[in-house]
Amino acid sequence: MTTANQTILLVGEGPLFEELHYLMTSNQYQVIDLKMAETGTYQVKLALEVMNTDLEKKKDSIVQLDRLLSLEVPIVTTSLAITATEVASWTKHPERICGFGTLVPLVERELIEIAPALQTAEEITPQVTTFFTTLGKETEVVVDEVGLVFPRILSLIINEAVFAVMEKTATAEDIDIAMQKGTNYPQGPLAWADQIGIDEIYAIVNGIHRDLREERYRPAPLLRKLVLAARTGKKCGQGFYLYPQEEGIRV
């Protein structure tokens, strides 16, 4: 489906930002950034904010979007590390905020989860659903909880796998082999973490623990250490494995 003469304001960084940018331009959307939007020469259809790992930067971006855009423009925000309801509380016009969630690579994701905030106006959710449909994705409306459904469950599986590495249950490679062959996963959870980004997984698990305050959601300390060491996976060349050689490393 083509969408000529439609302008989307995309804010954020990282692999999800890059893949959404490519997907939207491939579907004939015009994609602009905040600096371009501030010129006032573009008629923005929808704003998309995709920051998970830095909540202060996320808040600054959302506040700018809320100040800059006309009231009829929906602001769609990733609600993996924080609920859309909390994001909406940062704004003067919370009724136009709507959450969504997915994980990279987008080419492997048929579904986008949509999570309206408690403040989201009734007419916003259908607009968001239609937008993602034009990108060739199925949509599912879910309850606004940190991590949503697929990202939450996968992140917690990865977190448990990281605890298994810490406890020397097996090596990272052996854990991935066991899970891939034992459950028919497309890949092992630790290789999956490297592909998605260890910083993204840590942000989701930490957000769940922060929101629900239950011990069972406690992030594995090794996840935090890897983030602090900038060993966040495939995008930086090192995580649970080395890239591009893909040689297993002991952690």
Span 20-46, pLDDT tens digits: 999 999 999 999 999 999 999 999 999
Q: Given pLDDT bands bounded at 50, 70 and 90, which one contains residue 227? A: very high
Q: Given pLDDT bands bounded at 50, 70 and 90, which one contains residue 244? A: confident
Res 247: pLDDT: 46
Query: Is pLDDT above 50 for 248?
Result: no
Res 243: pLDDT: 93
Longest dimension (CA), the chain: 58
pLDDT in tens, 112-142: 999 999 999 999 999 999 999 999 999 999 9
Average pLDDT, rounded, for the chain: 94
- Do 188 and 180 touch, CB atoms closer than 8 A? yes
- Do 34 and 13 touch, CB atoms closer than 8 A? no
What is the rounded CA–CA span in Å between residue 23 and residue 163? 35
CATH class, 6-141 region: alpha beta
Query: Is pLDDT above 50 for 200?
Result: yes
Query: Is pLDDT above 60 for 66?
Result: yes
Query: Is pLDDT above 60 for 2?
Result: no
> CATH number of the domain at 150-236, please?
1.10.1040.50
Res 245: pLDDT: 52
Partner residues linked to 72 by β-bridges: none
Res 3: pLDDT: 41
Q: Given pLDDT bands bounded at 50, 70 and 90, which one contains residue 5? A: low
Which tokens is 200 given? 């993204």
Q: Where are the domains of the chain?
A: 6-141, 150-236
Q: Given pLDDT bands bounded at 50, 70 and 90, which one contains residue 208? A: very high
- Show Cβ contacts of residue 94 under 8 Å, excluding neighbours closer than 6 positions: 88, 117, 119, 120
Q: What is the mean pLDDT of residues 90-96?
A: 98
| Look-up of token digits 């994701």 | 109
Res 246: pLDDT: 45
Res 93: pLDDT: 98
- Strands 75-78 and 111-116, how do they pair? unpaired
Query: Is pLDDT above 50 for 251?
Result: no
